[in-house]
Amino acid sequence: MSKVGVMMSADCADGPMSSHFGKAEWILIADTENPGLDFVKNDGLNGKSAVAIVIGAGCTDVILADIGDGALGHLQAAQIRAWAAPALVAGDEALRMFREGQLHPVPAAHAATRVGGGHGCCCATRDGSEASTCCRS
């Protein structure tokens, strides 16, 4: 049995994924052997709290759009694989793509080479919630 965490902006499976790992307001937890889905609120709205949630849920894999160096390092230390989903995809679609082997693993160098150097995403507002559009493509 394995569990997959999907970083979400809302608590509905057909809603949009979060644009950044730590700013995900909800984490969809899917068991690969059972059809049920659970949603866990990410009250911390940061990478540390998101990592703690997926570890606590027993996830072996996480689907995300973007992630900083620190959170990626913590996932790797916990032996949780990170998978990159295309921008603007719904959570249930990302989960389907994962199950069908259509997602690519996030390499360790990914976060270090992206804009911002792993210090957060410019797509988030100061209150921690995500902006409706991203400032970069």
pTM of the model: 0.80
pLDDT at res. 88:
85
Angle at alpha carbon of residue 99, lines to 95 and 105, rounded to 5°? 80
Question: How deeply is 57 buried, as exposed, middle or buried, from its count of CB atoms within 10 A (0-12, 13-18, 19+)?
Answer: middle
Q: Is residue 108 pLDDT above 70, yes or no?
A: yes
Q: What is the mean pLDDT of residues 58-75?
A: 95
pLDDT digits (tens, 9 = 90+) for 22-61: 999 999 999 988 888 999 999 999 999 999 999 999 999 9
The CATH number of the structural domain formed by 3-113 is: 3.30.420.130
**Between residues 115 and 27, which one has the greater pLDDT?**
27
β-pairing, 81-84 vs 104-105, is antiparallel
Mean residue pLDDT across the chain: 83
Distances (CA, A) of 15 to 18, 21, 70, 126, 130: 9, 16, 27, 23, 14
As given in the structure block, the two tokens for residue 29 are 């937890």
Band (133; pLDDT cuts 50, 70, 90): very low
Angle at alpha carbon of residue 135, lines to 53 and 39, rounded to 5°? 20
pLDDT at res. 72:
95
**Radius of gyration of the chain, Cα coordinates, nearest whole angstrom:** 13
